[in-house]
Amino acid sequence: MNNKDLNIQHGGDIDLAIKKYGGKREDWIDLSTGINGTSYPWQENINVELRNLPSNKILMNLEKAAARAYKIAEGTDTAAASGAQQIINLLPICLKSCNSVTILGPTYNEYEKAFISSGIKTQTVSEVSKLSSSDIAVIVNPNNPTGKVIADETLEDLSKKVRILIIDESFKMFSSRRTLNFSNIIQINSLGKFFGLAGVRLGFVSGPSDFIKAVKGVLGPWPVSSLAAEIGIVALNDGVWISEMEKILVTESNALHEACNSRNWELVGRTFLFHTYATSSCLEVEKQFAAYGIWVRTFDYSETWVRLGIPTSENQWERVKQALNQ
């Protein structure tokens, strides 16, 4: 990626769907992201006074809830920010003596953009083994958009060969998480994906105390709103909802894979929130789904890949099946 190529497209761009195919926002089903279509019902559990600034106590409770839910190792510090994207943008600023970065790809391309924009030598490789000579290595795990999962044992081995290992766990299920006791890792998590609350803009970064101190120094005294903090505390502590939602998403994910089998697409990879398929033509698939008011994700580096989010309502399923059977 060159500096001139830093204008990146993302999923969720319904304005682009309308521009290309017409319709109104309310007419479209957005399956172009990996965001849960069933949002956490925070309105039922929260009554927050928005006139007041978020207190240190609320922020500390939020960080503790995140560390516990994401199974962060004891002795590792955690900071909250306005989304994982803000954290990604802060990495080049807060990582001292960052000489070079190697990213396991193809993956979420904002990592590459952040480091290149800061003038840091950055390369993307396709194999974990090629990360071992890195100063700083970046792995999205599970990966977006391939769904590939790197085993904890592989991550531990890699952590011994690089100075810093950054692991983005935004698409990892809570039930599959294990505590990673590596002293040189930075873990990034997002509330918005699993809880279907992307608009809340709440993310977390955990790592060595000197790094987290630098992050908090850049973020300033009120890194997230009172409302976002309260939502995060309640959602991350709601083990019953988390467990039930994981079961629902696994069932729906399996159903989507079965439905897509009728098209003879090749599965690139899947998580409980999205599937990516290699098709004969991604643009043709985009048109087919757009005819039923469904926006899917294509990628500028592949003529065949299409990513589908998980349908979560009867109406969504009906329209997805119509598009698949076209």
Residue-wise pLDDT tens digits, 72-122:
999 999 999 999 999 999 999 999 788 899 999 999 999 999 999 999 999
Q: What is the pLDDT of residue 208?
A: 96
Q: What is the pLDDT of residue 7?
A: 56
3-state secondary structure of 115: helix
Measured in residues, the chain has a length of 326
249 and 138 inside one domain? no
Of 238, 270, 288, the residue that ends a domain is: 238
Do 255 and 177 belong to one domain?
Answer: no
What is the rounded CA–CA span in Å between residue 274 and residue 265? 15
Q: Are residues 153 and 33 part of one domain?
A: no
Q: Which of 209, 238, 267 is the last residue before a domain boundary?
A: 238
Torsion of CA 310, 39, 221, 101, to 10 degrees: -10
Q: Please indicate, yes or no, whether residues 153 and 247 belong to a single structural domain of this protein.
A: no
Q: How far is CA 313 from the centre of its chain?
A: 22
Same-domain status, 181 and 148: yes
Q: Tell me, yes or no, if the pTM score tops 0.85.
A: yes
Range of 253's domain? 3-39+240-324
**Residues near 147 by beta carbon (within 8 Å), at least 6 away in sequence:** 171, 268, 269, 270, 271, 274, 275, 276
**Last residue of one domain, picked from the residues 238, 271, 306:** 238
Query: Is 70 found in the same domain as 11?
Result: no
Report the pLDDT value the prediction gives residue 97, as an integer from 0 to 100.
Answer: 84
Indicate which CATH number applies to the domain containing 320: 3.90.1150.10
User: Do 126 and 209 have their domain in common?
Assistant: yes
**Cα dist. 73→81, 178, 202, 266 in Å?**
19, 9, 21, 38
One domain, residues 164 and 18: no
DSSP code at position 303: S
Spell out, as residue ranges, where the chain has pLDDT lower than 70.
1-8
pLDDT of residue 187: 98
Residues 106, 127 within the same domain: yes
Q: pLDDT tens digits for 24-35?
A: 999 999 999 999
Residues 6+ apart with CB under 8 A from 291: 323, 326
Provide the pLDDT for residue 4: 40
